[in-house]
Amino acid sequence: MSYEFENIKQIQENFGAMLKRYIPLSEYEPPKTTNLTIIGARNFFLEAFPLRDYFEDKCKALEITCIDGDGAQTTKARVMHEAYAMSSGSEPVKNILFYPHNLLYIGPNFRGHKKFDIVVVRNPDMHTDNNWASILGGSFGDTGIGEVMTPGGLFIGTTTSERDIDALETATWRPKFKIRIKRKNEYRTLDDEGYSWDNYVLLSHAPK
């Protein structure tokens, strides 16, 4: 999948509209100091800007963390973010931390150092990557992302297919996330290559 900067505005606008529709800030108030964590760096600049625009007014301080198991992807994400900001005239997203990190060991390696208030997983390939249950819940329930989420923290997931959203829901069972919304997304985007973004949306909360 490829895209030019001029083709991504609609993807970003629709992602922002999805946040507004399914996560009304009248119902969900992020912490004043919020760590928003994006898992997967490939399309970081596509989601970072609408996430920043939506949540930062409700936060005293917003820090965005991007984690990917491929160090080359985190380097590319940093470059693409800066290039897009310059090309589009957008204000760069501030307070970004990029971590090349094995996704299967996020829990033990971030335990005691960082709490994730909001976690975003966008369009993962669930049917060829069977690690997501371990990434979210850990092999034994204590090594995954769920372990280092703030109690009641928000998990935002999107997928391209119904089968993938079902698999993502199953992956949230191990860390005992509470499902808030699982549905077809009214604000999905079909890009110029026929790739459909964010067909389904899953919102859930970490245990309190």
Q: What is the pTM of this model?
A: 0.91
Could you count the other beta carbons within 10 Å of the beta carbon of residue 6? 9
Helix (H) / strand (E) element for 47: namely helix 44-55
Distance CA 111, CA 182 (A): 29
Where on the phi/psi map is residue 4: left (φ > 0), alpha (ψ -120 to 50), or beta? Answer: beta
**Pair 185, 156: CB distance under 8 Å:** no
% of the chain exceeding 70 in pLDDT: 90
Per-residue pLDDT tens for 31-68?
A: 999 999 999 988 898 899 999 999 998 888 999 999 99
Domain that holds residue 41: 5-205
Q: How confident is the model at residue 141 (pLDDT cuts 50, 70, 90)?
A: low
Average pLDDT in the chain? 87
Predicted confidence at residue 4, as pLDDT, reads 53
Predicted confidence at residue 43, as pLDDT, reads 87
Token pair for 55 = 């949540």
Q: Which residue has 């669930």 as its token pair?
A: 126
Q: Is the pLDDT confidence value at 2 over 50?
A: no
Per-residue pLDDT tens for 180-204?
A: 999 999 998 876 666 678 999 999 9
Q: What is the CATH number of the domain that holds 132?
A: 3.40.50.150
User: Across the strands, what pairs with 196?
Assistant: 190
Instruction: Tally the domains of the chain.
Output: 1
